Structures are given as structure tokens and as C-alpha cells.
A and B are shown apart, each in its own frame.
Chain A
Amino acid sequence: MIDLLFFAQLQEKVGSPKITIEANDISIKEIKEKFLAKYKMDHLLNEAMIAVNEEYSKEDAVVFSGDVVAFIPPVSGG
């Protein structure tokens, strides 16, 4: 099981801050294709940064059961 976290506009689009998926040994790119295509938010996902277990990561990173993947829209703190 992998937890997917969504924030700001992504969270509103998904309708939830978190989705848990049954998956293991899978790249972020594959997660987007297999689990997130249905939300029709490719544009938002493409401009989002990715964090795995609270560290920035790349889309080709492979994640495993127990990992937490966060999709981080362009930030606007300050």
C-alpha cells in the first residue's frame, strides 16, 4: 500500500487529501498513469513537484509499499 498526498488545487480536484493505493515497486510516472488519469488533472500533475517520504524526488523514482508520495503544486508561501 502506498499513500498518495495531494495539496491545494490538486486536493480540491481529487476531493481528498489522501488516497491509498494497492501497489508496490512502481514508478511515480506509472502511478500517475494507472491511478490518477481518471481525475483529469494532467496539467496540474505535470507542474507539480514530487516528494517521496518528505524528500523531493523525480518522476522516475520507484516506490514501495509503505512509502508516502506527495504531489506538490507550485508553492506560494511567504
Chain B
Amino acid sequence: MDNFWITDKPIQVNDCIRKVTHPKAGAISTFIGIAREFTKGKQTLFLEYDAYVPMATKQLARIGMEIKQTCPEAEIAIAHRIGRLEISEVAVAIAVSTPHRDAAFKASRYAIERIKEIVPIWKKEHWVDGTKWIGNQKETTSYENKIPTKEEMH
């Protein structure tokens, strides 16, 4: 699972890109999630991420498998940061290579949406006047059966 990792060190996006670069690839799509200062007008000082590291690593690899089911030629690498992040630091980096661009765009989008559903990582906002662990950001999932399924992807 070398292509999927959780780290408390700054993420180098090029590490993800390098892992998916190979001769049969014709496109690499990257997605980079960074720490945002303002959410709905409220100022964030810094973010803190926690993870259930061994399971989160497995779930990132599962996302890679799901993408390969749709696009067997795809190569995927995902890195997610934990610990304290300053504004504009990279929280997550995704790179997907495919023979042609359309599949790469779709897969990187799929990966970030899926991270927000099934990967046990949590973000805590630190504001001037307090802190809060942020819950389900998609606000589309009831988690009624307590197991996120692939069908939840829209």
C-alpha cells in the first residue's frame, strides 16, 4: 500500500505524481485539498486532523481499488496529513494517472468525495473563540446502516 499513506509531515504533491507516472499513462489529474482560513465568514486560526491511521490507510487503498474497478488502467496515489496544519498547508493530495484525460478527471473527483465518506479522518477547527470537531461535511448521508456503501456516491 505504498501509494496510500497518512503522515504528520508536510505533503509533497510531487511524491504522489511520481508514484502514478508510467509509460502507458497519458494524463495525470491531481487534487490538492488545503487548509482554508474562512468558512462561512468564520476565521480559522489553524486546523488539527486526527485519524485512525491503520484503518484510514486501508480505506484509502480501498478507494484506489474502487477506481480500478471502473478504470483498470488507472494508477492512484493518495496522501493525507494529520496533526496541526497552518492555513494553506496541504491536507490531502491525490494523483490519478490514466491513458486518457477524461477518466483521470473523474477518478480524482471520485477519490476526494469518497474520502469524505469512508476514511476515518477528522478535522478540528481552531477559531479565536473556540474549537469544534467537524462532522459529515457532505450532509447527504444519514449513516442509517452505519456502513458507508459505494451506492452513496452520487
Identify the A interface with B (CB < 8 A): 5, 7-9, 11-12, 47-51, 54-59, 70, 72-78
Contact = CB atoms under 8 A, between A and B. Distances in A.
B124 interface: yes
Q: Which of A55, A59, A74, A77 has the most CB of B within 10 A?
A: A77
Interface stretch (B17-25, B97-105, B145-153): B145-153
Contact of B146 (A5, A9, A12, A58): A58
Interface of B: 33, 49-52, 54-56, 58, 80, 91-92, 112, 115-124, 133-137, 141, 143, 145-148
A51 B99 CA distance: 36
Contacts of B56: 77
Nearest to B112: A78
Contacts of B148: 49, 56
Contact of B123 (A11, A51, A72, A76): A76
Majority secondary structure, B binding face: mixed
A77 B93 CA distance: 12
A3 to B, nearest CB: 12
Contacts of A74: 135-136, 141, 143
B33 A75 contact: no
A70 B52 contact: yes
Given A5-B52, A7-B52, A54-B55, A75 B146 contact: no
24 contacts: A7-B52, A7-B120, A11-B50, A49-B143, A54-B52, A56-B118, A56-B146, A58-B145, A74-B136, A74-B143, A75-B116, A75-B122, A76-B123, A76-B136, A77-B49, A77-B56, A77-B80, A77-B92, A77-B119, A77-B121, A77-B122, A78-B80, A78-B92, A78-B115
B137 A72 contact: no
Contacts of A58: 145-147
Contacts of A59: 146
Q: Which of A47, A48, A59, A75 has the most CB of B within 10 A?
A: A75
